[in-house]
Amino acid sequence: MKFHLLILLVTMLSLNNDALPQETKPLTVIVFGDSITEGNMLPADQRSQRWVTLVEKEAQGRLQMVNEGKGGRPTDSVNEFKAMLARHPHADMLVIALGTNDSRNIKEDCVPAAVKNIRSMLDLARTAYGKIPVLLVGPPNIRKDALGPSKPIADQRDAKLRELGAAFETLAKQTGGGFMSLYGVVPEASLAKDGVHPDAAGNEAIAKAMLPKLLAAGK
């Protein structure tokens, strides 16, 4: 009798353990972007406030963010994207956040060329990673009165940012991916330094907007 009771107790404990929630492995999210992703324009003592870093912190173990940002990167960086894929053979989600540097080209070929480049990246990503969630990010707003060398074309550059965002949204729909616009997300006060690179508060605003979108895409 005691032996049978022992077997019953072990079985019940086993069933209870099976019912316990298992520890969830964080999703690996690669963010391929420019200096706004890299966060290299923040003071050294504020690098922990980069929006990519803040998203990982606020995700509380659900997302493992891989910061593949690089200052000055335009969409015409397909070869760099290929190199990134070689460095990271595994990903659960991909974010492409480009366009700010492209907006300095105010000619008609700016947007079509950018779309072509992003489409090439998407094709490469599908080959490398299969069907994982992909989020295209429309470039954030600028502060025209604080711009440096591109201040004379501030209005045209701002218009290109809007056009790029709209084109990326269309591309996302065509390719079955997600889209997130950052235009209007960064407060003007956070762009006082050079009109383009958000300060710590601006990075926090981006992180706050991006986090729910990434968590939803990862479900």
pTM (predicted TM-score): 0.89
**C-alpha pair distances (Å), 216 with each of 31, 56, 173, 181:** 16, 14, 17, 15
pLDDT (tens place) for every residue of the chain, 219 residues total: 444 444 444 444 444 444 434 568 999 999 999 999 999 999 999 999 999 999 999 999 999 999 999 999 999 999 999 999 999 999 999 999 999 999 999 999 999 999 999 999 999 999 999 999 999 999 999 999 999 999 999 999 999 999 999 999 999 999 999 999 999 999 999 999 999 999 999 999 999 999 999 999 977
Q: Is 91 a member of any domain?
A: yes
Residues with Cβ within 8 Å of 140's Cβ and at least 6 positions away in sequence, in order, are 36, 100, 161, 182, 183, 184, 185, 186, 198, 206
CATH number (domain holding residue 166): 3.40.50.1110
What is the three-class DSSP state of 6? helix
Q: What angle do CA 169, 131, 70 make, to 5 degrees?
A: 60
Q: Is 9 a member of any domain?
A: no
* Residue 24 pLDDT: 81
178: its two tokens: 């997600």
Q: Is 12 a member of any domain?
A: no
Q: Is 113 a member of any domain?
A: yes
* Residue 218 pLDDT: 79
User: Mind listing the pLDDT tens digit for each residue in 117-156?
Assistant: 999 999 999 999 999 999 999 999 999 999 999 999 999 9
Q: How many domains does the chain divide into?
A: 1
Q: Is 30 a member of any domain?
A: yes
Q: The domain containing residue 159 runs over which residues?
A: 25-217
Q: Is 11 a member of any domain?
A: no
